[in-house]
Amino acid sequence: EVQLVESGGGLVQPGESLRLSCAASGITLSSSWMYWVRQAPGKGLVWVSRINGDESIIKYADSVKGRFTISRDNAKNTLYLQMDSLRAEDTAVYYCARDEFNGGWFAFDFWGQGTLVTVSS
Partner 1 sequence: DIQMTQSPSSLSASVGDRVTITCRASQSIDSFLNWYQHKPGKAPNLLIYGASRLQSGVPSRFSGSGSGTDYTLTISSLQPEDFATYYCQQSYSAPRTFGQGTKVEI
Residue among 30, 25, 14, 20 nearest 93 (CA):
20
- Count of C-beta atoms within a 10 Å radius of residue 120: 10
Q: How far apart are CA 57 and CA 55, in angstroms?
A: 5
Task: Tell me how many residues contact partner 1 (CB under 8 A).
Answer: 24
Residue closer to partner 1, measured from CB, 12 or 112? 112
Find the binder of partner 1 among 11, 46, 58, 88 (CB under 8 A).
46
Q: What binding mask, one character per residue, do residues 5-24 give for partner 1 by CB under 8 A, x or -?
A: --------------------
Asked whether 79 and 22 are in contact (CB, 8 A), the reply is yes
| Minimum separation from the CB atom of position 40 to partner 1 (A) | 12
In the complex with partner 1, which residue's Cβ is closer, 44 or 121? Answer: 44
